[in-house]
A = this chain, B = another copy of it.
């Protein structure tokens, strides 16, 4: 347990008697919502808080035995929303209850699951690893985050990141994931295939394809240690999606009203401040929804940076 982090992030509560479980109540501020990936940034911070509390490491200031900084990098991010609660619907003044569980994946990686709902004043309840896939609680938004420790291989580069676990990082007490935990299989397959499966699957026919080059914006896309910020990947996907949206003859207002009920990213690499990201999209119908497959590639090297998938509906009225 990292007392330092618990003291400095006072919204965090331990859920009694359940290893790896914390809870918090959040009043949503402008700094954590909007069509700007700030809500994804907030979820990322909640993950770092939960892991700090569960694993005895101050994730915000972690170092390997030799003293080099190490970062609890995002490896897989899966958001499962509903019409009632999805990232674009969250707004100022909403009161959210966030219950989070941290699970052991391997010695250098953990899974954090957040159950997010409008606050109903009920007591804190632990969240189960399989819950969003087997018995989701009505009206909740779930975020699954898989993270692992990485260090820079070279001081001035964001490429060639290597493993590096902090000395005080302990996951032995945490519950392990069941072997048949669905996302592990899904993202392992996606990393191999370069594309996610959809369930229900996309319909037949040719997808709408779109590709564009996004130059990393040194004034905006990096985090406080100069790495491409994990939430910026969501912004880059949205940037390209808006341009596909317009090409389909849809207006910006309906873009703001789209309902995204499922969003996944596998993080495959980081990029430098002067990189150009090639973004390729393929949009298909899937029943009443649309599904979008996305790949992000470093244009110069061809190295994959991320694969992503969305399930959404063009929006109704606000």
Seen from chain A, the residues whose Cβ lies within 8 Å of a Cβ on chain B are 4-5, 7-11, 25-38, 41-42, 44-45, 48-49, 58, 60-61, 90-93, 95, 156, 217-226, 229-232, 235, 238-239, 241-242, 252-253, 255-256, 273-274
Task: Check A30–B224 contact: CB distance below 8 A.
Answer: yes
Task: Check A252–B224 contact: CB distance below 8 A.
Answer: no
Main secondary structure, interface of A, reads mixed
Task: Check B239–A217 contact: CB distance below 8 A.
Answer: yes
Residue pairs across A and B with Cβ atoms less than 8 A apart, 29 shown, are A8-B26, A8-B27, A9-B11, A27-B60, A28-B60, A29-B49, A30-B41, A30-B44, A30-B48, A30-B223, A30-B224, A30-B229, A31-B31, A31-B45, A31-B231, A34-B229, A36-B221, A36-B223, A36-B229, A37-B220, A60-B92, A90-B224, A92-B223, A92-B224, A218-B242, A218-B256, A219-B238, A220-B238, A222-B256
Task: Check A252–B235 contact: CB distance below 8 A.
Answer: no
Q: Could you tell me the distance in whole angstroms from the C-beta of A260 to the nearest C-beta in chain B?
A: 12
Task: Check B256–A226 contact: CB distance below 8 A.
Answer: yes
Q: Which of A7, A8, A38, A273 has the most CB of B within 10 A?
A: A8
CB-nearest residue of chain B relative to A318?
A: B226
Instruction: Tell me the bound Cα distance from A9 to B10 in angstroms.
Output: 9
Task: Check B256–A235 contact: CB distance below 8 A.
Answer: no
**A34 contacts which chain B residues (CB < 8 A)?**
222-224, 229
- With contacts A30-B229, A218-B242, A252-B274 known, is A60 near B224, CB below 8 A? no
**A222 contacts which chain B residues (CB < 8 A)?**
34-36, 256
- With contacts A45-B31, A61-B92 known, is A220 near B10, CB below 8 A? no
Task: Check A29–B45 contact: CB distance below 8 A.
Answer: yes
Instruction: Tell me the bound Cα distance from A33 to B217 in angstroms.
Output: 16
CB-nearest residue of chain B relative to A239?
A: B219
Instruction: Tell me the bound Cα distance from A274 to B60 in angstroms.
Output: 38
Task: Check B60–A223 contact: CB distance below 8 A.
Answer: no
